[in-house]
Structure 1
Amino acid sequence: MKLTKVMAIAAMGMTIVSCNNTQVKSKANLDTYIDSVSYAIGLNTAMRMSSDAAAKELDLDLYIQGYSEGIDSTNTTLIDRKDAEQIISKYFQKLRMDQMKKREEDMKKKAEASFKEYKEENEKFLAENKTKEGVITTASGLQYKVIKEGSGDAPKTTDKVKVHYHGALIDGTMFDSTMDPQKDPAEFGVTQVIKGWTEGLQLMKPGAKYKFFIPQELAYGYQQRGPVLKPFSTLVFDVELLEVMPSTPPSQLGDGHSKGDGHGH
Structure 2
Amino acid sequence: MTEITRVALQPIAKGSLGKLWIGIVLAVALGGAVAYESRQKGLEVDTVKAGAGAAPTASDYVLVNYVGHLANGKEFDRGEHVPIPVQGVIPGFSKALQQMQKGGKYHVFIPARLAYGAQEQRNQMTGEVSIPANSDLVFDIDLIDYKSAADVMRQRMMMQQLQQQMRGGAGAGAAAPGGDAAPAAH
TM > 0.5 fold call:
yes
Q: What do you get for the CA RMSD once the two structures are aligned?
A: 2.4
Equivalent AA in structure 2 for residue 213 of structure 1:
F
| Letter aligned with residue 114 of structure 2 | L
Partner letter of residue 86 of structure 2? V
Displacement of 1:202 in angstroms is 0.6
* 1:241 aligns with one of 143, 157, 161: 143
Tell me how far apart the structure 2 counterparts of residues 240 and 170 of structure 1 sit (CA, whole Å): 19
Aligned-partner SS, 1:232: coil
Partners of 2:53 and 2:45 in 1: CA distance: 20
After the TM superposition, which segments of 4 or more aligned residues of structure 1 sit over 6 Å from their partners?
none
C-alpha deviation, 1:249, in angstroms:
3.2
Is 1:213 the counterpart of 2:109? The answer is yes
Matches within 5 A, 1:127-146: 127=36, 130=39, 141-146=42-47
Corresponding position of 2:67: 166
SS in 1 for 2:142: strand
Count the aligned residue pairs: 114
| TM-score scaled by length of structure 2 | 0.56
Q: What's the CA shift for 1:128?
A: 7.2
Aligned residue for 1:228, secondary structure, equals: strand
- Taking only the aligned residue pairs, the percentage that are identical comes to 36
Partner Cα distance (1:128, 1:151) in 2: 33
Call closer, same or farther: CA 1:173–1:129 in 2, change over 3 Å: farther
**Structure 1 segments unaligned to the other structure (5+ residues):** 1-123, 131-136, 179-183, 253-265
- Counterpart of 1:60 in structure 2 is none
Alpha-carbon distance in structure 2 between the residues aligned to 1:129 and 1:236: 17
Paired letter, 1:177: R
| Aligned equivalent of 1:232, options 116, 134, 139 | 134
The answer to which of 140-149 and 189-198 deviates more is: 140-149
* TM norm structure 1: 0.40
Work out whether 1:194 is the aligned partner of 2:103.
no
How far apart are the structure 2 equivalents of 1:209 and 1:220?
A: 23
Higher relative contact order (CA 8 A, sep 6+): 2
Q: Which protein has the bigger strand share?
A: 2
Aligned equivalents of 2:51, 2:133: Cα separation in 1: 33
